[in-house]
Homo-oligomer: A and B are copies of this chain.
Amino acid sequence: MRLSTKGRYGVKAMFDLALHYGEGPVSLKNVADRQGISEHYLEQLISGLRKAGLVKSVRGAQGGYALAKEPDKITVGDVIRVLEGPIAPVDCVAEEDPEFCQKAENCVTKGIWEKVRDSIAGVLDAITLEDMVKDAEKLQRDANFYMYYI
């Protein structure tokens, strides 16, 4: 039940773009450096996000990437689904075209995996990139607080 680096890096990169939303395109090199990710690898990941319409790109010098919508219109679930595929602890309960199974009719485990799927999706779909930005600002404030009072 582990997320691969695709999902993790993708969420970090999208969070980074959300932090710089409205400031024009951000180069992948900057994102990769700030988030500690291989630039080339990130290139592949963001390619999928662009094709899915979550980010837009500007080519050429001073180019880069930017969110295609406002940060509160993009959820973590959107990002994960593009990079990791439909949410599904097992293939027979995938959100999109689940694998057909003959025994599905009287399968007791299927119901369990559906609950797991829905609880994961519920969490990921409830968090937007804007939520993450606000959390980051709060973490920053708390850090400053301790800096001054210790």
A residues at B contact (CB < 8 Å)? 1-3, 7-8, 11-12, 15, 76, 80, 84, 87-91, 105-106, 108-109, 111-113, 115-116, 119-120, 122-124, 127, 132, 135-136, 139-140, 143
B90 and A3: CB pair below 8 A?
Answer: yes
Q: Known: A90-B8, A106-B140, A119-B123. Contact between A76 and B2, CB under 8 A? A: no
B2 and A90: CB pair below 8 A?
Answer: yes
Which residue in B113, B120, B140 is a CB contact (below 8 Å) of A116? B120
Q: What's the Cα separation between A132 and B87 when bound, in Å?
A: 23
Q: What's the Cα separation between A87 and B1 when bound, in Å?
A: 7
Chain B contacts for A135, CB-based, 8 A: 108, 111
Chain B contacts for A12, CB-based, 8 A: 109
Q: What's the Cα separation between A88 and B90 when bound, in Å?
A: 16
Chain B contacts for A87, CB-based, 8 A: 1
Q: What's the Cα separation between A136 and B1 when bound, in Å?
A: 25
**Distance (whole angstroms) from the CB of A18 to the closest CB of chain B:** 10
B76 and A112: CB pair below 8 A?
Answer: yes
Which residue in B91, B108, B132 is a CB contact (below 8 Å) of A139? B108
Which residue in B106, B109, B143 is a CB contact (below 8 Å) of A105? B143
Chain B contacts for A143, CB-based, 8 A: 105-106
